[in-house]
A and B are shown apart, each in its own frame.
Chain A
Amino acid sequence: MSLSEKYRAKKYEDIVKQDKAIDEVKSFLKQFPKKKSLILYGPAGTGKTSLVLAAARENNLEILELNSSDLRNRAKLEETLRPAAQQRSLFKKGKILLMDEVDGVTGTDTGGIPELVRVINSTHYPIIMTCNDVWQSKLSPVRQKSKLVEMKPLDVGTIISLLMKITEKENLDKSPYFLKQIAIKSQGDTRAAINDLESYSETDEFTIDLTEKRDVQASIFNILRRLFKERQDFIRLFDNSELSLDQIFLWIEENIPKEYSGRELAKAYAALASADVFRGRIYKNQSWRFLIYQNIFQSAGISYAKDSPLGGFTKYERPKRILKIWLNNQKIAKKKTISKKYARFVHCSTKRIMRDFPILTPMLKQEDVQKKLRFSDEEIAYVNGLK
C-alpha cells in the first residue's frame, strides 16, 4: 500500500485545516433531505474523497462509489446509481452515494449529467460529488441542485507537519529542509507531497528542483489572486488554466471593481482596454505576434495599476456579462425577427429598425401591417403586448 493510501484521513479529526468544509458536510447529512446533493470542489489532494469516506465512517454509513474509471453514461447510471438511490442498504442503516470526479463525465458519457439530475431528484440517500472545477458550464444543472462546499489548498506549514508525522511513524530520517522543499513543491496538494516523500525517501537526499512543479491546473480564482495580490510570474500566469484567454479576460473585467477604486480603477481598465485593442488587431489581421502584448496588459498592466500589492481576501465573482447578453438575446428574439421583416419592406437595415423600435411600435400594431409583413402569431402577440 502506498503511503498516501496508508495515511489517508479516516476520521474527521484526521482531516486538517478544513474545519469549515467538515461542518458543511455534517450539517448537510443532518439536514438531508432538505438538500439532496452536495458538491465538494477544490484542487487535487485537498481531501475531498477522504472527507466523504470519513463522513461515512463517522456516521456508520455504507458508501456506494462510482469514479471516473467507470463509464458514466446514462445507461450505466440508470443501471447502478438509480436502484442504489432507491433500495435500502443491506447491513448498515444508510448509505452515501459518492460520485467521484464529476468533472470527468465527458462527451462519451452521453446523457450522464441529465441522468444524474434525475437521480438527485428521486434519491432516498444523500449524494456527494467531488470535482476540481465546479464552474464548468456542463455542471450547471447539477450545481443548481446541490450545496457547494469548497476545499482550499493547504498551506506549506500544515503539509510540513503532516509530513513530519509520517516520517516519525515510518521511521524515515529526513531533514526539515527536505520536507519543506517537498511541501513547497506540492502547492497545497497533500497527496502529491506524500507521494514525493515516498519516491524520494529511497534515494539519497538531494535538492529538489523547485522549478519542476506539478502542472497544477490553476483555477481561475488562483489566477485572479496571483494577478491582483501576488504579482508574480506574469508571462506564464495564464498558461496552466483550462479557461481561454478570452474567458479569463471576462473574469478580470468583472472583478476589477472588487479590487480597485478611483485612480487605480481607471488605470486598470485602461490596461484592459489596451489589451483589447491588441486582441482586436490579432483577430482582424491574424497577427498572433501581438498576443504577447495582450498578455502583458491583461496581467502586469492590471496588477501594477496599484502602487503596492494588495492584501486580504477577495471573493471573486463569475463574469455576468455574457449571461446578460444571452438572456437579452432570448428576450429580444421576437423584436429582431419583426425588425428584419419590417426593414426589408422599408428599405432599411435591421439594425436601424431595432434602434428606432420604440417610435415604430404604433405602426407595427396595425393589423394590416402585421398581415402584409406576415408576422407570426408570437410576433403579433409580442408587438401588441408593448406599451
Chain B
Amino acid sequence: MNHINIWTEKYRPVTFDEMVGQQEILKRVRSLVQAMNIPHLMFAGPAGTGKSTLALIIVKELFKEKWKENYLELNASDERGIDVVRQKVKDFARTKAIENIPFKVIFLDEADALTKEAQQALRRTMENYSNTCRFIMSCNYSSRIIDPIQSRCVVFRFKLLEKKDIKKRIEVIAENENLNITEKAYDAVYESSEGDCRKAINLMQATAAISPDITEDMILMVSSAAKPADMKIVLDYALAGDFLGARDKLLDTMLKESVSGTEIIKGIQKEIWNLEIEPSIKVRLTEKTGEAEFRMIEGSDEFVQLQALLASFVLAGKGES
C-alpha cells in the first residue's frame, strides 16, 4: 500500500475484486492469469476506465512480491521515438524472468501515440522477444493500431464507467478519509467525470482539500475552476469580428494550459451548438471544424489549421459562411 497521499494511487485497486465495471473483461483475464500464462493483450478504451490498473493487477497476481523486477511500464507519448522504446525493451528483455513464469511483462501505455512506422518497428520487436516477453498495450482507439499488431493480441474493449461503479469507488474513499458527501454531490462528481474514474477521484481530493464536508456546489466550483480550455471566449471574439483578439486568446490558452490542437478542436466542436447563430451556419461550421481536425493529422502545424478555422468563424459572425 502506498503511504503517499495521492488518492488515485492510494486507492488504486490491487485485486480483481476491488475493480469496478468491466466485469466481462475481468472474468476472462482472471482465468488467463490463473493458468499462469497470458498472451499479448490489448486494452482499448477511454481514459480512466481501468486499463493501467488491470495491467498492474495482472503482474501483481502473476509475480506476487517480485512484480517490480518483471514489469516494465512505458508511455509511448512520453518516450522520445521508437528507438528509445526498442532499446528499453531490449535491455529489459535480455535477462530471463525469475520465478516459475517464463516471461516478463511490458506495459506500453498510449500505444496509439506511436506512428504507423513506429508500430511496424514495434511489431518486429514483439516477434523477436515473444519467448521472453508479453506485451500489454493500452490505447484509446484500437483502430489507430495497425492490423498486424492487433492480430497478435487479444483485444479487450473497456467501456466508460457507470454511475454506480464510480460511486462505489468514491464511497470507499469517503469512508477511509472520513468525508461527508451529499447524494447530489455524488451526482455532480459523476457528471463532471464523464465516466473517467481518475478524473472523479482527483476532483474528490481537490475538493476535500477545502473541506471534508462535500456538497454539490463545492464540486461544481472546483470542477469549473479546473476546466481546461474554455473555447467560448475565443469564439466570442471571432464572432464579434475580432480575428486578432481571437487568435491571441487561442494561442494563450493553448500555451498556458498545455492543450493540444486536437483537444482545442474538440472544445470548439462542442461549443458551436451553444452559439447564438443560425442553425444552418452551425452545420457549415461543424463541417469546417471536422475538416480542420482531419487536416491537422495530415499537416505539420496545428495552429495554422486553427487560425483558418477561426477565420471561418469571423465570417459566420457576419452571417456568412
Contact = CB atoms under 8 A, between A and B. Distances in A.
A362 B206 CA distance: 6
B298 A277 contact: yes
A366 B5 contact: yes
A349 B4 contact: no
Contacts of B102: none
A293 to B, nearest CB: 12
A253 B78 contact: no
A4 B148 CA distance: 72
Pick from B3, B206, B318 the residue with the most CB of A within 10 Å.
B206
- How many chain A residues sit at the interface, stated as a range, is 35 or more
Given A321-B303, A359-B202, A359-B203, A369 B318 contact: no
Interface stretch (B31-39, B90-98, B123-131, B251-259): B251-259
Nearest to B292: A273
Contacts of A270: 308, 311
A354 B6 contact: no
B100 interface: no
Contacts of A372: 4
Contacts of B222: 359
B10 to A, nearest CB: 10
B299 A279 contact: yes
B interface secondary structure, majority: helix
Nearest to A340: B78
A356 B305 contact: no
A interface secondary structure, majority: helix
- How many chain B residues sit at the interface, stated as a range, is 35 or more
A346 B8 contact: yes
Contact of B258 (A276, A343, A354): A354
Contact of A347 (B52, B295, B307): B52
Pick from A261, A321, A324, A359 the residue with the most CB of B within 10 Å.
A359
Pick from B75, B110, B300 the residue with the most CB of A within 10 Å.
B300
Given A253-B307, A276-B301, A279-B300, A347 B56 contact: yes
B181 interface: no
B267 to A, nearest CB: 12
Nearest to B295: A277
Interface string B282-321: 0000000000100100111101110110111011001010
A189 B303 CA distance: 39
Contacts of B7: 363
Given A345-B6, A349-B77, A369-B5, A277 B109 contact: no
A273 B4 CA distance: 48
A325 B300 CA distance: 16
Nearest to B312: A266
Nearest to B315: A266
B298 A280 contact: yes
Contacts of B256: 328
Contacts of B205: 362-363
A355 B228 contact: yes
Contacts of B199: 356
B236 interface: no
Given A347-B52, A351-B77, A359 B243 contact: no
Contacts of B292: 273
19 contacts: A263-B320, A266-B308, A268-B311, A272-B307, A273-B305, A279-B301, A321-B251, A345-B4, A347-B56, A350-B75, A350-B77, A358-B228, A358-B257, A359-B222, A359-B223, A362-B205, A362-B209, A366-B5, A368-B5
Given A268-B311, A345-B9, A361-B206, 20 more contacts: A266-B314, A269-B311, A273-B295, A276-B305, A279-B300, A280-B299, A321-B303, A324-B255, A343-B78, A346-B8, A347-B73, A349-B75, A349-B77, A349-B109, A350-B75, A357-B258, A358-B225, A359-B226, A363-B206, A368-B4
* Shortest 7 CB-CB contacts between residues of A and residues of B: A362-B209, A359-B226, A273-B308, A269-B308, A354-B258, A280-B300, A280-B299
Interface of B: 3-9, 47, 52, 56, 73, 75, 77-78, 109-110, 113, 198-199, 202-203, 205-206, 209, 222-223, 225-226, 228, 243-244, 247, 251, 255-260, 263, 292, 295, 298-301, 303-305, 307-308, 310-312, 314-315, 318, 320
Interface of A: 253, 257, 261-263, 265-266, 268-270, 272-273, 276-277, 279-281, 283, 321, 324-325, 328, 332, 335, 340, 343, 345-352, 354-363, 366, 368-369, 372
